[in-house]
């Protein structure tokens, strides 16, 4: 019998199913054919339907004049610009709110995550209340709620007018919070601003060099310096000094005109509402991630650090958090991705993100639904993959080095 088993059998079609050597291959081929057929059908269906509607598939509309205005543009844009430029304006607005949101959410999340573990009962419970309220209510509602709060509770610009105005500007008459957004002082870069910028860049380098030197000195002698204040001084003072000498950078302050404040910078309320709603919502998730990361660090670590005489704040920042980061980073990546994708909810508050320009007005005015959707999906895919790549690189740098 053993002899017959090793003999080469002639191939029969039934072996494709009954012979384990071929079976897996058979099913893979079937699966592949099914998948290809499915996608082929989808493409064919789309082409057939487009043809039935007499529509073509092309991206030429991107070069046409957009014709509409956008309330927040980080690059120069007028209604004479092209649809492609409007899309770029939207992309930059998406990136802006995603960037601001990620930073704020991280700071808030770490802060709240640490507070949640506080031995102080009240502080611990307050942090719990924050986490549970924000992560258990849909982010869309938070965005709408913040928008409604700004619209209904802040004064209209008209309230700042007159001798007995019901609202007044803050910070010495330079900042105004209205139900349209915040009007703030804004720098104007006059001739010679490059000199200030160069000095500032040199300051940055000096701060970095000083940090290294102070660290090496502490390693060698054990003596510490008030590095924070010295670094701050190094960073700010030279640039301020140069600027005060040549007067390159001046500030414009918002002033109340016929309808609105003019001059200065304007932060639209839709940006504020979206930014803080996303940050508060995602911050609640990050707080939980931070808490679990801290709790994953063995208790012996902090006890050992305490035995060495470190203060609680230092134990957290020097011993526990660096180790916790290894647990924190991977789930943090998906929170950043979530926040970026959730920013497309901007539509409900009229924030001009890429969904509102390319996927909203442009799509509506040109009727190129398929093209716009493909472009938008491509953009979100690209940005998500970029965030994940960068964060994975960071993760690799903090991961446990096994030697």
From the CB of 140, what's the least distance to other proteins, in Å? 13
CB nearer to other proteins: pick between 62 and 319: 62
Closest alpha carbon to 335 in 384, 262, 376, 396: 384
CA distances to 252, 264, 271, 310, 333 from 267, rounded to whole Å, are 15, 10, 7, 43, 28
Residue 267 touches other proteins, criterion: CB under 8 A: no
For residues 355 and 276, give the distance between their C-alpha atoms in angstroms, rounded to a whole number: 19
Residue 269 touches other proteins, criterion: CB under 8 A: yes
Residue 126's SS3 state is helix
Residue 52 touches other proteins, criterion: CB under 8 A: yes
Its sign, for the CA torsion 97, 100, 103, 104, is: negative
From the CB of 267, what's the least distance to other proteins, in Å? 13
Among 98, 360, 376, 379, binds other proteins (CB under 8 A): 360
Residue 55 touches other proteins, criterion: CB under 8 A: yes
**Residue indicated by tokens 């007995």:** 164
Residue 352 touches other proteins, criterion: CB under 8 A: yes
Residue 365 touches other proteins, criterion: CB under 8 A: yes
Residue 217 touches other proteins, criterion: CB under 8 A: no
Among 185, 211, 238, 350, binds other proteins (CB under 8 A): 350
CB nearer to other proteins: pick between 229 and 259: 259
Residue 347 exposed, middle or buried by CB count within 10 Å (0-12, 13-18, 19+) = middle
Residue 291 touches other proteins, criterion: CB under 8 A: no
Residue 128 touches other proteins, criterion: CB under 8 A: no
From the CB of 13, what's the least distance to other proteins, in Å? 13
Restricted to residues 155-174, the positions that interact with other proteins (CB under 8 A) are 156-158
CB nearer to other proteins: pick between 148 and 318: 148
Residue 48 touches other proteins, criterion: CB under 8 A: yes
How many separate helices (H) and strands (E) can be counted in the chain? 15, 7
Residue 186 touches other proteins, criterion: CB under 8 A: no
Judged by CB under 8 A, how many residues of this single chain contact other proteins?
A: 44
CB atoms within 10 A of CB 21: 8
Among 26, 79, 218, 317, binds other proteins (CB under 8 A): 79
DSSP string, 156-183: PGGGG-STT-S---BTTTTBEEEBTEEE
Closest alpha carbon to 381 in 340, 353, 346: 340
Which one of the spans 290-298, 299-307, 363-371, 384-392 is the region binding other proteins (CB under 8 A)?
363-371
From the CB of 360, what's the least distance to other proteins, in Å? 6
CB nearer to other proteins: pick between 132 and 262: 262
Residue 374 touches other proteins, criterion: CB under 8 A: no
Residue 369's SS3 state is helix
Residue 367 touches other proteins, criterion: CB under 8 A: yes
For residues 97 and 339, give the distance between their C-alpha atoms in angstroms, rounded to a whole number: 9
Asked if residue 187 lies in contact with residue 240, where contact means CB atoms within 8 angstroms, the answer is no
DSSP string, 10-26: PP-TTHHHH-HHHHHHH
Residues that bind other proteins (CB under 8 A): 37, 41, 44-45, 48-49, 52-55, 67-71, 79, 148, 151-152, 156-158, 179-180, 257-260, 262, 266, 269, 347-348, 350, 352, 356, 360-361, 363-367, 369
């Amino acid at each position: 019998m053993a002899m017959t088993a090793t003999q080469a059998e002639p191939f029969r079609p039934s072996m494709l199913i009954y012979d384990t050597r071929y079976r897996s291959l058979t099913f893979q081929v079937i699966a592949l054919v099914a998948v290809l057929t499915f996608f082929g059908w989808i493409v064919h269906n789309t082409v057939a339907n487009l043809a039935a509607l007499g529509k073509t598939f092309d991206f030429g509309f991107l070069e046409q004049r957009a014709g509409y205005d956008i309330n927040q543009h980080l690059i120069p844009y007028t209604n004479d610009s092209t649809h492609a430029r409007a899309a770029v304006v939207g992309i930059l607005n998406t990136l802006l709110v995603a960037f601001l949101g990620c930073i704020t959410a991280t700071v808030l999340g770490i802060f709240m995550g640490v507070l949640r573990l506080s031995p102080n009962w009240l502080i611990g419970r307050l942090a719990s209340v924050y986490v549970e309220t924000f992560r258990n209510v849909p982010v869309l509602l938070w965005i709408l709620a913040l928008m409604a709060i700004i619209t209904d509770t802040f004064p209209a610009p008209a309230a700042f007018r007159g001798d007995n105005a019901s609202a007044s500007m803050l910070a010495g008459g330079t900042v105004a919070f209205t139900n349209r957004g915040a009007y703030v002082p804004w720098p104007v870069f006059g001739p010679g601003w490059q000199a200030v910028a160069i000095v500032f860049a040199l300051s940055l380098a000096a701060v970095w060099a000083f940090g290294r030197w102070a660290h090496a000195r502490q390693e060698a002698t054990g003596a510490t310096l008030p590095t924070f204040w010295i670094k701050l001084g190094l960073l700010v003072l030279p640039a301020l000094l140069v600027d005060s000498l040549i007067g390159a950078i001046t500030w414009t302050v918002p002033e109340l005109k016929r309808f609105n404040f003019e001059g200065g910078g304007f932060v639209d309320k839709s940006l504020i509402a979206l930014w803080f709603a996303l940050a508060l919502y995602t911050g609640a998730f990050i707080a939980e991630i931070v808490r679990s990361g801290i709790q994953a660090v063995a208790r012996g670590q902090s006890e050992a650090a305490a035995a060495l005489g470190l203060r609680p704040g230092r134990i957290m920042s020097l011993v526990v958090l660096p180790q916790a980061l290894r647990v924190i980073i991977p789930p943090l990546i998906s929170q950043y991705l979530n926040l970026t994708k959730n920013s497309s909810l901007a539509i409900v508050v009229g924030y001009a993100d890429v969904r509102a320009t390319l996927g909203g007005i442009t799509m509506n005015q040109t009727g190129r639904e398929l093209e716009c959707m493909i472009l938008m999906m491509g953009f979100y895919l690209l940005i998500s993959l970029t965030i994940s790549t960068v964060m994975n690189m960071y993760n690799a740098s903090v991961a446990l080095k096994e030697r």
